[in-house]
Structure 1
Amino acid sequence: MTYSLRVTDMPLTERPRERLMTYGAKSLATAELLAILLGTGQGPGKLSAVGLGQYILQKLGEDQRDPIALLRDVSIKELTDIPGVGPAKATSILAAIELGKRVLTARPPEGTIIDDPAVAAAVLSHDLMWQAQERFAILLLDVKHRLLGTRIISIGTATETLAHPRDIFREIIRQGAIRAIVAHNHPSGNVQPSPEDMHLTRQLLQAGQLLGIPLLDHLILGNGTHASLRQTTSLWQEFPQGD
């Protein structure tokens, strides 16, 4: 007989709920977060809730893909096909995932001052964060960095999108914006800039200098996170924007 430690058999300081209450959700492993949603365990070998959470991640990642990325778009059937996961457990997981997406993609209202890359990413998250194809977007601002709106410039394939400085600045000017932030997503979840991203950013910064329309940042979004090229590269020192 396989023995699996129950959550109630764990010391209080090691139980997922108690650890979350003491140290916060960020301190928990993904399997422990799932355990809180599952409530109880079972499945092969009468697993504990934490063990069942680990088993779910293992089953989702059997084809070597990232199980966290797969959870983002997992279906009710994919979950209930896993031994030990019935409709109640599956719907709890799906509800939590959807709630997380909605919180993350809640868009600040027009007029919000965009003074931090995280705020800009929040504005664009709904359009870019969870898309299966690359999208290129513009965040339009007035002279005081207040949000005027956003525009999707292009939609590409699963691995690339096409955007030209001419089309980008044409839309900025057409919308009457005085400042702009550009952004695109990486469906892979890797937010490191590619050589093509760097090249396009250089072109946009040069165009911003020429037209007198400062480009404040270029963001890359994916898999719940983002990167600011202004913060992580020296391009804005090479091409000052006077913003």
Structure 2
Amino acid sequence: MNIREWPLAERPREKLLEQGAAGLSDAELLAVLLGSGVRGRNVVDLARGLLARFGGLRQVLEADRAAFLGETGLGPVRYAQLQALLEIGRRHLAESIAREPALESPQQVRRYLKAMMRHEASEVFACLFLDSRHRPLAFEVLFRGTIDRASVFPREVVRRALARNAAAAILCHNHPSGVCEPSPEDVHLTLTLKTALKLVDVRVLDHIIVGEGDPLSMVEHGWFSA
């Protein structure tokens, strides 16, 4: 059935305006973003098909470009729109944590780091550099590796901290496997970086590991102390 034939209260866009975005299902939210369906499928059916094909809303939004464009009715314009949406979300989180000290909003910081790194297919290492009041100065991906390993060079981490005039840093890397448990190498690297950065008066506040579910704080789990 053409979506124009639906009752107004059941159409995704009108439902959003009436109830707010939180009242919509994943398929309805995706339908609002897509805007229109394709021949023989209304936009909600198209959205439901994509969610089933890719395995969920996050997987659709983070889909490989070739895989996304390979689906019927999904062209470069829609791909660009969804990528812009993701970047808007990341920038919104970045602006929200910039207003207050990182230690006063740890959950917000973790949400931001997860948004910045969860989509990475290979392991990457990054730093969130902070000023003397622990307010964010910059987020930088410093090293990229393979599916399960990234080589990290302490000298380069120190160099970037000095370039940012940072007083503190939150280390971060992802586990593409989805398992957040730190390896012995992760613990050793953290202690090495903590020692190296201390020499230039930069304090390591935490090391966050991003995988599936909530990011893991190595400080909170006792692998090292800030």
How would you bin the TM-score normalised by the shorter chain? 0.5 to 0.7
Provide, for residues 44-98 of structure 1, a one-character-per-residue CA deviation record: whole Å limited to 9, x for no partner.
xx3332112222334x43xxx667425424547854652xx2xxx6355323312
1:35 to 31, 34, 41: 31
2:136 to 124, 138, 147: 147
Distance 1:78 1:177 in 2: 40
3-state SS in 2 of match to 1:234: coil
Q: Among the aligned pairs, what percent are the same residue?
A: 26
- Check if 1:104 corresponds to 2:89: yes
Change beyond 3 A, Cα 1:51–1:74: same
CA deviation after TM superposition for structure 1 residue 137, in Å? 1.3
What TM-score comes out, normalization by structure 1 length?
0.64
Correspondence for 1:219 among 199, 208, 225: 208
1:24 aligns with 2:20: yes
Report the alpha carbon displacement of residue 30 of structure 1 after superposing the two structures with TM.
2.8
Match of 1:50 in 2: 44
Which residue does 1:200 correspond to in 2?
A: 186
> RMSD between aligned alpha carbons?
4.1
Matches within 5 A, 1:75-154: 75=65, 78-79=68-69, 81-82=71-72, 85=73, 90-106=75-91, 108=95, 113-115=100-102, 116-117=105-106, 118-119=108-109, 122=112, 128-154=117-143
Structure 1 residues 7 and 180: alpha-carbon distance in aligned structure 2, compared to 1, 3 A threshold: same
Q: TM-score, normalised by structure 2?
A: 0.68
1:181 aligns with 2:175: no
8 Å Cα contact 2:114-2:215 kept in structure 1: no
**Per-residue deviation, residues 185-235 of structure 1 (Å, max 9, x unmatched):** 3446x3x51231x86357636974894754223234469x8625168x432
Aligned partners of 1:73, 1:97: CA distance in 2, in Å? 10
SS in 2 for 1:93: helix
How do residues 227-238 of structure 1 correspond to structure 2 at under 5 angstroms? Answer: 227-229=215-217, 233-235=220-222
Contact 1:121 1:221 in 2 (8 A): no
State the shift of 1:39 in Å.
3.8
Q: What is the CA-CA distance between 1:181 and the residue it aligns to?
A: 0.5
Q: CA deviation at 1:139?
A: 2.0
Is the contact between residue 141 and residue 147 of structure 1 (CA under 8 Å) also seen in structure 2?
A: yes
Unaligned runs of 5+ in 2: none
- List gaps (5 residues or longer) in structure 1: none
Q: Which amino acid aligns with 2:190?
A: L
Q: 1:158 aligns with which of 143, 147, 153?
A: 147
Paired amino acid for 1:200: D
